Structure 1
Amino acid sequence: MPTPRLTLLGKPGCHLCDDARAIVLEVAGERGLALEERNILDDETLLDRYAEEIPVVLIDDRVHTIWRVDADRLRRALDERQNPA
């Protein structure tokens, strides 16, 4: 199974995005994964879709969570993605 792709959607000056980044980077580091960050202000489609919902964490381009990131929930989701039943 390919390595999961983690993406954080946010924007500068967003304190929830900063909090989410710290958690996602911690979990990504544990798993040896890279984190792609996308600024919704640079993409009108993302801005229209997520303007009121950032930060958004995507796993393989699917929404995992919005606003607050729970490290244990993210770990479980990545484990399930890497080791499907």
Structure 2
Amino acid sequence: MAEAGGWTNSARVVVLGKPGCHLCADAWGVVERVTDEFGATRAEVSLHDVSEPEREDYWDKIPVTFVDGERHDFWRVDEGRLRSVLNS
């Protein structure tokens, strides 16, 4: 797996996705709701804006969620799990 770039630290929670991805839209909805609850920062990053090795690594896993710079979930965001990590 390629090591993710500095973009993973652009906010406490980062969602890597692509335009037109319905799973990405669903994930973003969960991330918005939970980060609002905790007052945590969030950011969206397009798969098109990352390095080629990162695109190759993540293209089949989007949306990919990162928390505090570490990969947290992929394909779907587990709301309870996200709440738990933000609460710790």
TM range (shorter): 0.7 to 0.9
Secondary structure at 2:20 match in 1: coil
Secondary structure at 2:29 match in 1: helix
The alignment's C-alpha RMSD in Å is 1.3
| 1:2-81 matches, cutoff 5 A | 5-43=12-50, 44-80=52-88
Worse-superposed segment, 24-33 or 35-44: 35-44
Question: Identity of counterpart residues, as a percentage?
Answer: 43
Secondary structure at 1:19 match in 2: helix
Cα deviation digits, residues 5-57 of structure 1 (max 9, x gap): 11000000100000000000000000111211100112223312200000011
In the alignment, what sits opposite 2:7?
Answer: none
Q: Which amino acid aligns with 1:34?
A: T
Secondary structure at 1:57 match in 2: strand
Give runs of ≥4 in structure 1 deviating > 3 Å. none
Greater C-alpha radius of gyration:
1
- When the two structures are aligned, how many residues end up with a matched partner? 77
Cα deviation digits, residues 38-83 of structure 1 (max 9, x gap): 0011222331220000001101110110111111110001112xxx
Which ranges in structure 1 are unaligned for 5 or more consecutive residues? Answer: 81-85
CA distance in structure 1 between the aligned counterparts of 2:54 and 2:33, rounded to whole angstroms: 25
